[in-house]
């Protein structure tokens, strides 16, 4: 490995390289995170996909996330930006990736800049990536410390004509917090006003939406951890437990299986709280006769799982609860076959609405008059099913991808229909994560109990 690094150093200015060379003091087999090291070939492939879609004479820049402050000297746990992780596997703060596919100097076609590490930092914060570990993680041979960024990047910009900047273009993005990426882009535009700036988001949204086999394997692992949590709960839940106790049981099971924790803020909603779509207080007692809606998922190696199950607190659905549960299951089962290559999400959701309308009529929650007089912009079924049925999932729970282009093989979506009846204290949602395949879809959560009879049996063993 040291020989590979030296070979690439020869084509760069030796005054920089010799000055910042460091001894390799850390165990290169060390996994810096809870999860096992991911084969760097995944990130090599991902960068190749990006490079293939970039215009000539263009470079693209990706920054890690900040460590966000709370108050005093407190900070939130670090969470890496999904794009730089997708392209490099680097899972630490103060990192920059530059991709310049047709740079004249081969050593500058992929460059990683990292915060310099040493034994002192290792004592206070834990081990960070050194240059060899960064190569093992990412497959990137050219690695510099951050204090060399301005010098090396200026050399690259002198040759580049176009710069791909990485703005957050997720359709549901909405925050007033200025990110590290935002600050970098402001500085970049000010220093290099004559370059042409392009958007990396359309490229990343597309290539990230189609999962590599390694990514699907990581998502399967996250789902398997989620399964362990749900099976633990089926033995734990009973009238009198509190929602936060259920949350604690899940967290225990997730962490002991090397998940980083919950993929998103968990929803543990009993009784009428199950009709609140984003209920996260998780502070009520689960009472006899309540349903408990669990919208939870483990995160493993930054890949998310997203599951919903609705369980009877006493281990037995009432006749009406079972009637509604079975209706939701029928819609979900039909959705499984409707998600397929060539279909667009708007087409799919329109068909789901027809299925749900039929089920709601069967439950006597709607009648034909309601449907006849409905507002096309807000169909009658939306009264009891007000949210969408499927979204992309991957490195983000609401992952990136097109909402207008046809689905493709190896995209991964949730399926999560629900029926919410506040006046009856019934809220039921059921959700799995599905890999789209031309020969038949694959359910990453196919081993997690879902049928009402199986749930009742396991809860009463």
Supply the residues annotated as catalytic: 73, 278, 295, 306, 387, 391, 398, 416, 420, 429, 431
Question: Taking Cα atoms as reference points, which of 327, 325, 318, 310 lies closest to residue 361?
Answer: 327
**CA 317, CA 299: separation in Å to the nearest integer?**
30
Surface-to-core class of residue 454, CB atoms within 10 Å of its CB (0-12 exposed, 13-18 middle, 19+ buried): exposed
Per-residue CA distances from 352 to 323, 336, 345, 349, 450 (Å): 19, 11, 10, 5, 20
Per-residue CA distances from 122 to 22, 77, 116 (Å): 14, 17, 11
Q: What is the 3-state secondary structure (H, E, C) of the chain?
A: CHHHHHHHHCCCCHHHHHHCCCCCCCCCCCCCCCCCCCCCHHHHHHHHHHHHHCCCCEEEEEECCCCCECCCCCECCCCCCHHHHHHHCCCCCCCEEEECCCCCCHHHCEEEEECCCCHHHHHHHCCCCCHHHHHHHHCCCEEEEHHHHHHHHHHHHHHCCEEEECCCCCCCCCCCCCCHHHHHHHHHHHHCCCCEEEECHHHHHHHHHCCCHHHHHHHHHHHHHHHHHHHHHHHHCCCCCEHHHHHHHHHHHHHHCCCCEECCCCEEEEHHHHHCCCCCCCCCECCCCCEEEEEECEEECCEECCEEEEEECCCCCCHHHHHHHHHHHHHHHHHHHHCCCCCCHHHHHHHHHHHHHHHHHHCCCCCHHHHHCCECCECHHHHCCCCCCCCECCCCCCCCCCCCCCCCCCCEEEECCEEEEHHHCEEEECEEEEECCCCCCEECCCCCCCCHHHHHHHHCC
């Amino acid at each position: 490995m040291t020989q590979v690094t030296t070979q690439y150093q020869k084509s760069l200015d030796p005054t920089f390289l010799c000055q910042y060379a460091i001894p390799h003091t850390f165990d290169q087999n060390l996994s810096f995170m809870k999860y096992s090291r991911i084969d760097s070939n995944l990130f090599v492939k991902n960068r190749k996909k990006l490079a293939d879609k970039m215009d000539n004479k263009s470079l693209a820049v990706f920054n890690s996330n900040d460590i966000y402050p709370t108050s005093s000297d407190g900070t939130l746990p670090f969470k890496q930006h999904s794009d730089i992780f997708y392209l490099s596997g680097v899972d630490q703060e103060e990192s920059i990736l530059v991709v310049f596919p047709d740079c004249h100097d081969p050593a500058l076609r992929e460059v990683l800049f990292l915060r310099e590490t040493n034994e002192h930092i290792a004592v206070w914060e834990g081990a960070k990536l050194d240059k060899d570990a960064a190569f093992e993680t990412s497959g990137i041979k050219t690695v510099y410390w951050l204090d060399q960024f301005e010098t090396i990047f200026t050399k690259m910009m002198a040759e580049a004509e176009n710069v791909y900047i990485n703005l957050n273009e997720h359709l549901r993005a909405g925050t007033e917090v200025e990110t590290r990426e935002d600050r970098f882009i402001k500085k970049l535009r000010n220093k290099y006003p004559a370059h042409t700036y392009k958007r990396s988001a359309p490229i990343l949204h597309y290539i990230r939406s189609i999962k590599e086999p390694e990514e699907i394997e990581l998502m399967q692992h996250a789902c398997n951890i989620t399964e362990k949590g749900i099976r633990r709960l089926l033995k734990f839940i009973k009238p009198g437990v509190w929602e936060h106790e259920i949350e604690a049981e899940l967290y225990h099971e997730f962490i002991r299986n090397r998940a980083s924790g919950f993929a998103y803020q968990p929803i543990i909603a009993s009784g009428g709280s199950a009709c609140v779509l984003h209920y996260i207080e998780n502070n009520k007692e689960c009472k006899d006769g309540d349903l408990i809606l669990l919208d939870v998922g483990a995160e493993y190696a930054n890949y998310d799982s997203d599951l919903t199950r609705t369980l009877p607190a006493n281990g037995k659905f009432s006749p009406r609860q079972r009637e509604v549960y079975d209706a939701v299951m029928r819609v979900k089962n039909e959705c499984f076959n409707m998600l397929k290559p060539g279909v667009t999400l708007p087409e799919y959701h329109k068909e789901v609405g027809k299925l749900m309308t039929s089920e709601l009529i069967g439950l006597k929650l709607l009648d034909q008059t309601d449907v006849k007089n409905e507002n096309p912009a807000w169909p009658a079924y939306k009264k009891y099913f007000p949210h969408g049925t499927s979204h992309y999932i991957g490195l983000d729970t609401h992952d990136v991808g097109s909402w207008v282009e046809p689905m493709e093989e190896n995209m991964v979506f949730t399926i999560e229909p629900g029926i919410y009846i506040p006046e009856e204290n019934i809220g039921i949602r059921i959700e799995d994560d599905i890999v789209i395949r031309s020969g038949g879809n694959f359910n990453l959560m196919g081993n997690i109990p879902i049928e009402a009879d199986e749930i009742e049996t396991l809860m009463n063993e």
